[in-house]
C-alpha cells in the first residue's frame, strides 16, 4: 500500500519551518486559554467549550469546579443543578448530560481518574478527537494536535495543508509539523485564527506570514 501523500502548498520542509517560526515568534504567549486546576476540570472545560468561546466557559467554571471537585461528586449531581450552572452556554442541556455522564464513567470504570489514553478518553460522554487531543496535550504533556475551527481554517488557508475535513487536516498536520512542535503549534494556530486570520475579513495587511500565505497570494491576483 502506498503511503498517503499530504496535500500542501509549501513544497519543502524549510518553507514550512519558516511559516512555523514566524507564527511562533508572533505569539510567544500562545497557550491554553481555558482556566482549570486539575486534569479532571480541564476535561470538563474542554467539553463545555464546544461551539462557544473559552471566555464564556471561564466565566461559569469557578462555581462548577468548586461544587464538583472530583468525578464522584459530579456523578451524584442533580442534572438540573448542573444545567443551572452552565445555562449561559450553548447546548447546555446536552453538555450537562455529558458532564454527569463523565462523572459516572470515571467513577465506575476508571477509579475516579482521567485515563491517560487517547482511545479511552474518547469513550467518555461528549468526548471526541478534539477534546481527547487537548487533554492529552495540555493535561498530560504529550504531543498531540487538536483541530478546532481555527486550526482547520488557518492551516488550510495559509497552505500548511490542503484538506477538506477536520480529520484529514489533523493527520496532514501531523505529517507536516515536526512532532516536538505539535502541541505548541495547536495553540499558535488558534491564536492566529482569533487575532488575525479571522473567518470573516481576515487582517491580511497585519499578518506575519502574508508574504508566503497561499490565501493572500491568490487574492492579490
CATH number for 112: 1.10.340.30
Catalytic residue set: 130, 148
Does 164 share its domain with 94? no
What pLDDT was estimated at residue 40? 98
Cell numbers of 128, please? Answer: 471526541
The residue segments making up the domain with residue 206 are 13-30+145-216
Does 151 share its domain with 69? no
Helix axes 166-176, 149-158, angle to 10 degrees: 60
Decide if 184 is inside a domain: yes
Q: Is 207 annotated as a binding residue?
A: yes
Cell numbers of 197, please? Answer: 486570520
Q: Is 197 annotated as a binding residue?
A: yes
**CB under 8 Å to 96, separation ≥6 — which residues?**
79, 82, 83, 86
C-alpha–C-alpha distance, residues 57 and 33, integer Å: 10
What pLDDT was estimated at residue 39? 98
Decide if 200 is inside a domain: yes
Does 65 share its domain with 155? no
Does 87 share its domain with 173? no
Does 161 share its domain with 82? no
What pLDDT was estimated at residue 8? 72
The count of domains in the chain is 2
Does 74 share its domain with 158? no
Identify the CATH number of the domain in which residue 155 sits.
1.10.1670.10
Decide if 26 is inside a domain: yes
What pLDDT was estimated at residue 20? 97
What pLDDT was estimated at residue 6? 66
Cα first-last separation, the chain: 39
Residue with cell 487538536: 146
Cell numbers of 182, please? Answer: 505539535
Calculate the alpha carbon distances from 41 to 71, 74, 84, 219 in Å. 9, 11, 18, 43
Decide if 126 is inside a domain: yes
What pLDDT was estimated at residue 12? 84
**Residues of the chain whose pLDDT is less than 70?**
1-6, 221
What pLDDT was estimated at residue 136? 98
Does 45 share its domain with 17? no
Amino acid at each position: 500500500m502506498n503511503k498517503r501523500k499530504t496535500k500542501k502548498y509549501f513544497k519543502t520542509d524549510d518553507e514550512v519551518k519558516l511559516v512555523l517560526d514566524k507564527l511562533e515568534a508572533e505569539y510567544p504567549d500562545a497557550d491554553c486559554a481555558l482556566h482549570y486546576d486539575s486534569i479532571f476540570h480541564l476535561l470538563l472545560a474542554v467539553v463545555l467549550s464546544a461551539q462557544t468561546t473559552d471566555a464564556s466557559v471561564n466565566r461559569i467554571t469557578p462555581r462548577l469546579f468548586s461544587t464538583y471537585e472530583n468525578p464522584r461528586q459530579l456523578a451524584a449531581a442533580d442534572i438540573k443543578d448542573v444545567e443551572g450552572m452552565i445555562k449561559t452556554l450553548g447546548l447546555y442541556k446536552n453538555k450537562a448530560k455529558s458532564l454527569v455522564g463523565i462523572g459516572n464513567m470515571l467513577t465506575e470504570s476508571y477509579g475516579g481518574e482521567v485515563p491517560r489514553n487517547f482511545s479511552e478518553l474518547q469513550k467518555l460522554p461528549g468526548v471526541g478527537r478534539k477534546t481527547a487531543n487537548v487533554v492529552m496535550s495540555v493535561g498530560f504533556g504529550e504531543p498531540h494536535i487538536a483541530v478546532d475551527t481555527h486550526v482547520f481554517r488557518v492551516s488550510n488557508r495559509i497552505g500548511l495543508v490542503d484538506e477538506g475535513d477536520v480529520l484529514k487536516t489533523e493527520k496532514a498536520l501531523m505529517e507536516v509539523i515536526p512532532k516536538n512542535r505539535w502541541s505548541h503549534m495547536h495553540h499558535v494556530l488558534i491564536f492566529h485564527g482569533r487575532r488575525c486570520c479571522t473567518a470573516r475579513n481576515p487582517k491580511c495587511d497585519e499578518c506575519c506570514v502574508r508574504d508566503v500565505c497561499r490565501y493572500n497570494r491568490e487574492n492579490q491576483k
